[in-house]
Structure 1
Amino acid sequence: MTSGGRVERYILYYWPTIQGRGEFVRLALEEAGVPYEDVARGRQGMGPIEQLLDWEQALHPPFAPPVLRAGELLIGQTANILQFLGARHGLAPRALEARLWCNQLQLTIADAVAEAHDAHHPISVNSYYEDQKKAAIARTRDFRNHRIPKFLGYFEQVLENNAGRGGWAASSKLTYVDLSMFQLVAGLRYAYPNTMKRLQRHWPRLIALHDMVAARPRIAAYLKSKRRMPFNEDGIFRHYIELDEQV
């Protein structure tokens, strides 16, 4: 914050045409109601990101976006950024044990997101989906039938263990973890609509959490705005019909 208590404008460095991992950060910024610049979507385009990733220019260079600039701080890695924003804007509990629990859950969400990406790019991120489609079909079958139920079943149990505290995952109030669980469910529904329609009855608390987050005034306004990019087949969550067969 500035010396007068005013929150400075954050700068978010992320790719300009996809939700990706940057969306988890955007949701936290939107819920916090703080000013931020999604810099690559502005007039400068990719220039600031290319400069940011010139690793020789910084003592602690980021490996890849998302990166958040907060004053003189330059923070990389989604979970790390959310831990910072959570503490600063009331999106995380104050107690150390509870903050560590939030981070643990966020890192588990990150694992699920990585597997969602690798389902359609199982061989190499440097090759097109079309060049590894056969492997993707096999990998996605396992992801749909085993990994999605394992991850979402775990989060459902987390919510059940925290029952009676408002329906949130890690506290009696919304935290950044709840925002990220919303995004995970939204992404999986986009990528695997048939699978999610068939299985989501097993995770009623998680689906209810998704709906509670979507109904929050700032999030609802964001979801209707142009700031919220649609899912597409360049991001992490991709919808290919052949990967959502009910097999």
Structure 2
Amino acid sequence: MPYDLYYWPGLPGRGEFARLVLEAAGVPYRDVARLPEAEGGGVAAMQAFMVGRGHDGPLPFAPPFLVEGELVVSQSAVIAAFLGEHHGLAPEAEAERIFARSIAVTTADLVAEAHDVHHPVGVGLYYEDQKPEATRRAAEFRESRMPKFLGWYEALIARNPHDSGTLVGPDITYADLGLYQVLRGLAYAFPKRMETLRPDYPLAHALADKVDALPRIAAYRASDRATGFNENGIFRHYPELDAA
């Protein structure tokens, strides 16, 4: 049976980290909330699943979550690790498998910080309700946090003993797919800043180019299954929050 992936339709968001692993591994799945309601899909199907789980079985806090029979896996980093380890996109050595999970969790931290740039006060408020705070948060994120995270990824690639150009292990893993998505998201949200920073992190960008060229990833990006970044997602482009 294919996996059922539950996430909000119309934006890549945190669900994209799971989609990329599913697509790269060539694993069949249903993107439930994107399916027509006549086929058992839509947001209503996702909400109905969570309501039903309130009385029977594991209850995920929020999308994304992955379902296979009675198995429910939630949180983007955990889903990516689960899929990678079950479908050939994780290191084989135990120490490297565990560290790949650490990378995925750290990437989730970066994603949360990127989101909080445009929603620094509260997720229930509109961006327009917190623009002064967002401006201040954006400056700190651009000048301090982005280089800190990107420098760490760059160091991991440089120090990888396999000299594979990847974050961990000898081959591309779900951790690399996560970095790929983050670099794409940051380039969308902060194009000026990323253009300035790009020369400082050649290994990270070379890895992203390698992921982008994977046949299954290229086919996915060209398909109608992929959703572009927009101002409803985690990575949002507000020109007033970007600077070189």
Q: Which TM-score tier does this pair reach, normalised by the shorter chain?
A: over 0.9
Look up the equivalent residue of 1:120 and give its one-letter code. H
Equivalent position to 2:49, from 49, 52, 55: 52
Q: How far off is 1:166 after superposition? A: 2.1
- In the comparison of the two structures, how many residue pairs are matched? 239
Q: Partner of 1:3 in structure 2?
A: none
**What is the Cα deviation at residue 138 of structure 1?**
0.4
User: Quick check: 227-236 or 157-166, which moved more?
Assistant: 157-166
In the alignment, structure 1 residue 28 sits paired with structure 2 residue 21: yes
State yes or no: 1:174 paired with 2:172.
yes
Question: 1: CA distance between counterparts of 2:26 and 2:214?
Answer: 12
Match of 1:18 among 11, 24, 31: 11
Q: Is the 8 A contact 2:91 2:170 kept in 1?
A: no
Q: Distance in 2 between matches of 1:58 and 1:156?
A: 44
CA distance in 2, matches of 1:58, 1:202: 50
Q: Which amino acid aligns with 2:201?
A: W
Distance 1:234 1:134 in 2: 19
Moved over 6 A (4+): none
Gap regions ≥5 residues in structure 2: none
Deviations 1:164-200 (A, max 9, x none): 5321111101100010000000000000000000111
Q: How many Å separate the matches in 1 of 2:162 and 2:200?
A: 19
Aligned to 2:86: 88
User: What 5-or-longer segments of structure 1 have no aligned partner?
Assistant: 1-7
Task: Letter of the 2:44 partner, please give it.
Answer: G
The alignment's TM-score, normalised by the length of structure 1, stands at 0.94
TM-score, normalised via structure 2 length: 0.95
SS at match of 2:30: strand
Distance 2:232 2:56 in 1: 29
Q: Cα offset for 1:85?
A: 0.6
Q: CA deviation at 1:115?
A: 0.1
Q: Larger deviation: 72-81 or 22-31?
A: 72-81
Paired position in structure 2 for 1:61: 59
Which residue number corresponds to residue 228 of structure 1?
226
Confirm or deny that 1:43 pairs with 2:36. Answer: yes
Q: 2:149 & 2:155 partners in 1: Cα distance?
A: 10
For 1:95 and 1:171, locate their aligned partners in 2 and report how far apart those are by CA, in whole Å: 8
Equivalent-residue separation in structure 1 for 2:127 and 2:9 (angstroms): 21
Query: Sequence identity, in percent?
Result: 49
Q: Which residue of 2 aligns with 1:4?
A: none
**SS at structure 2 position matched to 1:75:** strand
Q: What is the one-letter code of the residue matched to 1:135?
A: E
Once the 2 structures are TM-superposed, how far is the Cα of residue 57 of structure 1 from its aligned partner? 2.6
Aligned to 2:105: 107
- Cα RMSD after superposing both structures: 1.1
Aligned twin of 1:196: 194
- Aligned partners of 1:96 and 1:47: how far apart in 2? 40
| 1:127-168 deviation line (CA, Å, top 9, x unaligned) | 000110110000000000000000000110011001653211
Shift of 1:51: 1.4
- Distance in 1 (alpha carbons) for counterparts of 2:162 and 2:87: 24
Q: CA deviation at 1:41?
A: 0.5
